[in-house]
Amino acid sequence: MRSPSVPPSDTLGAQRTLVTLLNFTNDLSQPHTPAEVTSVLLDEANPASVAAYVREASYGRAWLTGGVAGWLPVGYDDSLCQLWTTNEQPPPPVMADLVHALDPLIDYALLDRWIIIIPQNPSCGFAGYSSLGKETWNTDDGVVRFSRFILNGFDPATAARVSAHEFGHSAGTLQHSLDHECGAAIVGDFCSDGSTATDAYDVISQSVPYGHYSAPNKEALHWLDTNLVEVTPPGGTYFLESYSLPASGSPPTGTLALRIPVEWLIDDLRGASGYYVSYRTQTGFDAIFPELGTDGAMIHLDGDFYIPLDPPVTGASQLLDMSPNADFSQLLDSEDVLLGVGQTFDDSENGIQIEVLGRVGNELEVAVTISKYCGNGTIEPEIGETCDGSDLGLETCSSVGWSSGTLACSATCQFETSTCSGGFRCGPGHAYDPATETCTAEVLLDASRRDIWRSTSLWTDVRNFSSGNPTTNVGYIFLSNVERPGFANIYRNSMPFDTSSIPDGANLVSATLDMKILAGFPSRNTHPGSADQLVLVEATLSNPPVASAVDYRTIGTVDSPIELAPRVDVGDVFTGAAAPIQFVLSSAGLDALDPTGFSHLGLRGAYDVDDVVVPGVENALQVYFRSEISPIAGPRLTVVYDAVPEPGFAAGLFAGGLAALGLARRRAGDKGRFEIGRVDPQAA
């Protein structure tokens, strides 16, 4: 995976592991002995143990050491399974309290992995539960870092694979591996369904088989090292060793997986950056899969969150099915996922072909052809190219917004206009339309925005307070109206788009604001048809517009604020996942695109603007609101403006050579392409 992963020191070498058997006053049973637990989890002599799995799956690059302690009695009733909660109210201690209570018995400085086993508790609702990577703890042994997971009960028949699953979470911050389901197609955008489809060949999947971690997951764990080969254009022929080699004295020297760069959209929060090709065989811990007895290549996509998370969580690998929809059952359909000998996977959109040529000795011969790439001399717009080498697609400086010069192509296959001059121009990265001589800017929301909310017992009070409570570090806006006896609240939102890339003097033609309802967070609306609109208002904040508590009343006036676009009725999309919302800015909205660098945009609900009180009910809407979390779904302001002259191009308009020209941004509809701010000669 290309996203940040845990450091190699966390996942390579000896994984110092302590297994602690705990019981509570509500259940003092000791259903298993330390010797039984040791055999299943830590004893490599047991070929089905977790220790044997880690040794094999890492190719000897990681191994478990340690022991089992307990049973240790914890002196409180945990019948409600509050051991894992973050509730810091007594009587149940939080995890930090447990760490402190066991401090005299455990040297945490010698620990990488802490496995806790409790008697089976139906209230827990899980077989295992893990931290994501290591956590920092203050102990009597100093500040230390270790990961932890809990096994709810210990069934010798399943405990090893449950523990191998949780080890992936706690060691490598791995997410559940998924199937990539596109109906009759093999690959495409937005083709993951994590609620119903999982990768049946990866122990980190939700179905928890005892197979090897996928290639993207092993890369995140740093277990592939030089055995992962990056394929570069135009491709080549490669020989893959068995991915599921039984453990040996040293790591293999051959190729275990290929990585082919590609881009696909997984969902609003994640994207894929590469195909991973491996040769899975019915050996070692993969011996449980009879379909792997047939030679073929297994292909995964990786998954990366658009914004790096802390801890650096992976975005879930996805298994491609080379024979989609072969069976009505998802489970059975996943038994023929391999790309067989003589078969070719053709990603025509990205110009990638993967062909399995056959088995040569103990290796699988695979040919990869990459026909679309920057540097092949052919323009391929589908992969984002505007030019390629000497091929400029008949474009010239004049056709892309300049009057003279020689257009060139950059090393990244984008137009290079530094050698163009004269004529009209667009802001950096903005698209130019020669037919209309307009430019289009797409601006993602600036992260400095804040929500401001206020709650109190009376609706009239909550509307008219002079200050509120800023909300920070969230990836969404929360529009809410609650009015019930004794409680009312309102959320107001600032939306500062950085428009400084639009040249001063540009005549704004049109602008739209697009947003998307947050997927996975259902909206609530208990009074449909009443004040269900979102209202775009003028937010008179300072620049840069970081809202503070006192700005609760500056996101539009309390009563009759200036509205910047027709209202958007969200009544029909409250129940729709990731529904789109679009505002088309009016002339007042264009005026709010401040020439000093930030837009003066805010968002409120019609119930707030119109002072609509519907007692006893509520509505709530969550919308993606930080574009760095989701540049696909995050708020996007699209502005179309007339191209402006390159400095000096309009010099002939003036006689006498004024000391300065004041070009001020104007909205569409005003006469003339430019407004010339005349300079007072005495002030010049």
Domain finish residue from 172, 187, 211: 172
Specify whether 127 is located in the same domain as 40. yes
Q: What is the pLDDT of residue 647?
A: 62
Decide which of 523 and 79 is more confident: 79
Both 548 and 636 in one domain: the answer is yes
Domain containing residue 490: 451-641
pLDDT at 665: 35
CATH (domain of 42)? 3.40.390
Residue 295 is predicted with a pLDDT of 96
d(CA 469, CA 480): 14
The tokens of 198 are what? 């999982």
Give the lowest-confidence range in 411-420, 516-525, 549-558, 577-586.
516-525
Domain-embedded: residue 430: no
Dihedral (C-alpha) 407, 411, 413, 416: value to the nearest 10 degrees?
A: -30
Contact indicator for 298, 277 with CB cutoff of 8 Å: yes
Identify whether residues 114 and 220 lie together within a single domain.
no
From residue 94, how far is each of 76, 84, 265, 338 by CA, in Å? Answer: 12, 7, 39, 46
Which is more confident, 81 or 617?
A: 81
Percent of the chain with pLDDT over 90: 43
Please report which confidence band the pLDDT of residue 377 belongs to, taking 50, 70 and 90 as the band edges: very high
Within a domain: residue 663? no
Q: Is 63 helix (H, G, I), strand (E, B) or coil?
A: strand
Indicate if the pLDDT at residue 88 is higher than 60. no
Which pLDDT band holds residue 28 (cuts at 50, 70, 90)?
very high
Q: Can you read off the two tokens belonging to residue 467? A: 């200050």
**Residue 543 belongs to a domain:** yes
Top pLDDT among 595 and 355 is at 355
Nearest by Cα to 286 from 247, 324, 237: 247
pLDDT above 80: residue 213: yes
Q: Are 597 and 665 in contact (CB under 8 A)?
A: no
Express each pLDDT in 443-453 by its tens digit: 888 656 567 87
Taken in order 541, 546, 547, 548, the sign of the CA dihedral is negative
Q: Does 193 share its domain with 160?
A: no
At 475, the pLDDT band (50, 70, 90 cuts) reads low
CB 531 within 8 A of CB 647: no
Q: Strands 507-516, 636-642: parallel, antiparallel or unpaired by DSSP?
A: antiparallel
What pTM did the predictor assign? 0.79
Q: Do 166 and 183 share a domain, yes or no?
A: no
Report residue 301 as tokens.
């996509």
Residue 428, domain member (yes or no): no
Q: Is residue 438 part of a domain?
A: no
Query: Which of 160-174, 425-439, 664-678 is predicted least confidently?
Result: 664-678
Residue 671 — pLDDT band, cuts 50, 70, 90? Answer: very low
pLDDT score of 508: 94
Range in 58-67, 74-83, 247-256, 310-319 the model is least confident about: 310-319
Binned at pLDDT 50, 70 and 90, residue 480 comes out as low
20 with 56, same domain: the answer is yes
Cis? peptide before 233, omega within 30° of 0: no
Complete DSSP assignment for 424-483? EE--TT-EEETTTTEEEEEEEBPTT--EEEEEES-HHHHHH-S--EEE-S-SEEEEEEEE
Which of 551, 555, 666 is CA-nearest to residue 608? 555
In this predicted structure, the answer to whether residue 67 has a pLDDT above a threshold of 90 is yes
Q: Has residue 361 got a pLDDT over 60? A: yes
Q: Widest CA span of the chain, in angstroms? A: 98
Same domain as 595, residue 513: yes
**pLDDT > 90? residue 329:** no
Helix, strand, or coil here: 227? helix
Q: What is the pLDDT of residue 94?
A: 60
Q: Which domain-ending residue is among 342, 370, 398?
A: 370
What's the pLDDT score for residue 76?
A: 83
Cα–Cα dist 277/275, whole Å: 6
Q: What is the pLDDT of residues 137-178, one digit of tens each?
A: 889 999 999 999 999 999 999 999 999 999 999 988 888 888
73 near 23, Cβ under 8 Å? yes
Last residue of a domain, one of 370, 405, 437: 370
pLDDT of residue 310: 61
Are 574 and 464 found together in one domain?
yes
User: What's the confidence (pLDDT) of residue 11?
Assistant: 94
pLDDT at 290 over 70: yes
d(CA 298, CA 437): 50
Q: Tens of pLDDT along 511-520? A: 999 887 766 5
pLDDT tops 60 at residue 92: no
Let me know whether 390 and 515 are in one domain: no
Lowest model confidence (mean pLDDT) among 18-22, 209-213, 424-428: 424-428
CA–CA dist 419, 393 (Å, integer)? 17
Instruction: Check pLDDT > 80 for residue 93.
Output: no
How far apart CA 430 and CA 280 sit, in angstroms, is 46
Q: Which residue in this structure is represented by tokens 């809202």?
A: 547
Q: Do 148 and 62 belong together in one domain?
A: yes
247 with 317, same domain? yes
Average pLDDT of the residues in 97-126 = 90
The answer to whether residue 2 is domain-embedded is no
- The CA–CA distances, whole Å, from 487 to 50, 140, 285, 681 equal 53, 46, 57, 61
Q: Which of 178-187, 211-220, 273-282, 327-336 has the lowest mean pLDDT?
A: 327-336
Q: Look at the chain and report how many structural domains it folds into.
A: 4
Give the model's pLDDT for residue 46: 97
Indicate whether 498 and 412 sit together in one domain. Answer: no
CA neighbor of 512 nearest in space, from 613, 630, 619, 593: 593
Residue 379 is predicted with a pLDDT of 96
Q: Distance between CA 267 and CA 395 in Å, rounded?
A: 35
Q: What is the mean pLDDT of the chain?
A: 82
